[in-house]
Amino acid sequence: MDSLKPQSGVPAPLFTRLFDHEPERRDEPIPLRTLDRAGLLDSIRAELMALLQTRVGLPIEQWLSLEKTVLHFGLPDMLHLCTTSKADRELVAHIVHEAILAFEPRLREPRVLPRSREFRTGRFHFELRALMPMGTVVEPVSFPLYLQL
């Protein structure tokens, strides 16, 4: 009856709970129902990377104007943007911000700040700052992010 004891942490996302992390194991481990702070940070980081690596076949203007649903998960086509352009970096930061608002509800008040290093790599570098609620505590968090074109 240990599984009926109250658990601390935040509920694990649905797909995290459904995914079999040890498919070769015959017996079922204790189900993952909650995440501690480190688990929550890892889960958010993984979702952010999935979001940044997924593309929707829509132009930027159309994607920005849509009310986001699961059909719009990811980022619009941005191959024509330039990593050396300050205006393009700010546009990409805005797009990433909108995607985080739509698809990562575990973060509040996200701010996406473009970083101006490594222009020649074909990557847009950002820092994400947000608030992460965990139970009764709201903690400021920061994630370095990059977007590969």
Give mean pLDDT, residues 28-47. Answer: 80
| Residue 31 amino acid letter | P
Extract the tokens encoding 135: 């139970």
Q: Read off the pLDDT of residues 53-112 as tens digits, 9 standing for 90 and up.
A: 999 989 999 999 999 998 899 999 898 888 888 899 899 999 999 999 999 999 999 999
| Domain 41-148 coded CATH 3.40.50.1000 | no
- Alpha carbons 93 and 31: distance in angstroms, whole number: 37
What are the residue boundaries of the structural domains of the chain, listed by start?
41-148
The Cβ of residue 31 has, within 10 Å, a number of other Cβ atoms equal to 10
- Answer yes or no: is pLDDT of 14 > 60: no
- Alpha carbons 52 and 146: distance in angstroms, whole number: 8
Q: How far is CA 118 from its chain centroid? A: 22
- Answer yes or no: is pLDDT of 1 > 50: no
More confident residue, 148 or 3: 148
Please enumerate in sequence order all residues whose Cβ is within 8 A of that of 124, keeping only pairs 6 or more positions apart, or say none: 81, 83, 89, 92, 93, 114, 146, 147, 149
pTM exceeds 0.95:
no
Q: What is residue 124's DSSP assignment?
A: E
Q: Read off the pLDDT of residues 90-107 as tens digits, 9 standing for 90 and up.
A: 999 999 999 999 999 999
